[in-house]
Amino acid sequence: MDQSENLTRIANDRALNFTAAGVSMLFALGPAKPAESPEDRMRRLLAYPGARVGAVRWGEQVHGRVIASLAAEPGRPLEEVACVGRCDALMTADTGLGLVVWTADCVPILITGDGVVAAVHAGWRGSVADVAGAVVRRFAVEYGVPPRTLRAMLGPAISGPRYEVSREVIDGLRAYGLDEKRWRNENRVDLRGFLAARLENLGLEPEAIDTVGPCTASTPELASYRRDGVRAGRQWSMIYRTD
């Protein structure tokens, strides 16, 4: 993974841009308050001259572990922008298909390995339901890509100091037996720390897991549900194969 963070502007949205061999990963930053609809934002992105995507898909996120595996029919490439229904993770081996998740404190995880990409939305409920584990297993079972060959990036999300939680959350996460020094400080939880530890536990190499971007709740220009409630906007995170 190219570790140089490139802050770029794509169709009026600021985003962190990372590249790997044949894969692009983008983490948008903001807006803090709702602006356009998801459809309008993605249509602007699709029309952006620098974008190398021919279609964009996202899910109706329900804080669970349902995965949508997407593939075009022969001779009929996917086009335009669309929500694919209820899911919190999307996967594809197709080229030029942008997979998107929307967040405002939850953790966006973008994963790539051997020509397959995935976009994952992981809040505390999804983390307790092990959406990360479901995706890693799908890489292996459906696409034949083992965990040790995967790379993952965890994007902007709420930080541990700003995320005070209930006993229900802590007990749900503790069930995985991960080192609590990596994700818990009394009643505060670092979801990105938990998910990085979980990905290692699932078989990813530690050096293949990166955390990028600031705390959403502590950064006024980023969307944060914990800070702004229903008035919060949404960040998008996208991964796609370029060749």
Instruction: State the residue range of the domain holding 18.
Output: 7-241
Total number of domains in the chain: 1
How does pLDDT run across 177-208, given as a tens digit for each residue?
999 999 999 999 999 999 999 999 999 999 99
Would you state the structure tokens that stand for residue 181, as one six-digit string? 């020094």
Give one DSSP letter per residue of 64-97, joined into a string: S--EEEE-PBTTB---EEEEEEE-SEEEE--BTE
- Asked if the model's pLDDT at residue 4 lies above 90, the reply is no
Dist CA 34 CA 237 (whole Å): 16
Whether residue 89 is contained in a domain is answered as yes
* CATH number of the domain residue 122 falls in: 3.60.140.10
Would you state the structure tokens that stand for residue 67, as one six-digit string? 């995965």
pLDDT band at 88 (very low <50, low <70, confident <90, very high): very high
Q: Cα 185 to the chain's mean position, in Å?
A: 24
Whether residue 129 is contained in a domain is answered as yes
Q: Cα 187 to the chain's mean position, in Å?
A: 25
Compute φ and ψ for 119, nearest 5 degrees: -120, 130
Whether residue 156 is contained in a domain is answered as yes
Whether residue 2 is contained in a domain is answered as no
